Chains A and B, each alone.
Chain A
């Protein structure tokens, strides 16, 4: 039972909770307390020191929007943002309720009446914007993965193809998302024409920009992982006369999974960074737009609210990375490999 919990925590990236489990099960308390102070105590000390310097430092800086916000103001604003979200939700619920009531009345008067439910058109709240951002980055990252992994595998298996593609990869890899964005915007406007679009154009533009920038690490890591497979394993496949596809599925992918995931983790990190910039310019209603709108708004709360977004972006990026790490551990055959 204890081992299972510890294994779960290791896989989930909650290593800092393990000493608590061991402590609860009565394992040598002094050693576990030492571990605990190391894994929780030290980061806590660093965090408190950071908050202190932030608090003191921010008070020294006066901007045209008032004093630079310290941790206290930011904490207040995060509460406000959540309250606003709840208030907006309540308004939306009330809006739908009123419609249902009105429709019921209409139907009571005339059973053949034409009734419909109109969508609530209130402003997206901070929480809505978080979800929009997460969904956009997910779609962009998924597109990138679907393109990069197969190309990486094929070019890792063939030296000729790799030699052909490598210059292209190296040229496009360092391109900033801001350079891609205008082109993507124009292409999306020209190509994605529909009277009843399923997705907003701004969403598609942002997702494609994320894809264009997060493609490369996965592609390169997959190609390197595939080309460094043990030759003997490939030879075993040849002796067994496995087909190309079977070789890829049974030998190439399993042995390059660790490298593929390393690439995917880097890609997702880059994708998340790129997304914020893309959303600012494409006006996709996510965290990037939130930051931009607050900056344009220029109220005395704006800087605190932007700071809330900054911390949220950081925290979500961290969580996304942990999720990838956990997936990597689950898919990797070598469960004991140290992955950071």
Chain B
């Protein structure tokens, strides 16, 4: 055999140990990947908090009844479900908005509105393994509850964009649509109920061939039908609202267009309209969303980085009717996007500090000082005999017998604490 590396595998008997397996669709996060994932989640939550959203932690487990009150049957079947001691059914959460809504309707029912809340945590999906899809994902998101105006929708879009930017994800495209646009077109397109249902199902399944089939041979021969057929191309800048408006007479879809025009203005004030595409064909869960919706995309990834929208009906399901809007960001997908884009950065490990036995006390004090200055330090657990040699490996430092610090860090080397702190400030600045 030529050319191939030869891996020295352990004997099969050792590999077959059942205690070493990992469930399909789950991942371990190690080293730079783990650090990146934590940094992304922190950047998100830090952004949310900076915009005035209070951090909230909800449980990983909810009664299935609670989950069912909030989301439709579609998501429920994708949850890990199990039985509580009393026989009632529990589920591992597959999203966290329902939990936030439950808290708002109970512990926070007397809190003054609007409420700004944010969260970050794992969610789980009981999908079949081997499909390439994750079964555990980290999600971070915001909910803005108690304000029905477009300024709330615009704020959510701006917060989401700011969070992605803070995490170092560039070139994000924001697709803004409206949950009522397609339904209002369907209602005004003179379709009989059966045909309307067929078109709606086909749109939800993203099957445009079936949309065409369902529309052919119906009464709808007007502009609305043409719009429904050209649905995937109904995307673009502010001008598509005028293009669509010129072709629509019915009042309800026109009201949607007016709302989107106003939302566009607000996003323009926030300085992010340059990243916004209006997507009139956006088809999201109509039973859940009630107003503007949005999705965030990176050119490097086949899935949305995040999504959100107005959901004015959810709180009523918990007996505390209130308008609400919010969004979720998918931390793991954002890490994928960072890895594929130019934003990938190897995580900087800790500085390993060695010392001779007689300098142990001094080394501990030095480590404490460096940590305060923001340098991660791992102190050797045993003193080493190494004398005045300069450290060879990056990220290594030691005190020599005379108490002088020699270091090599992030591709540079030097001696003395002050020069190390200066290098650190340079790296940070």
Please determine whether chains A and B interact with each other in the same assembly: no
Q: Which residues of A contact B (CB under 8 A)?
A: none
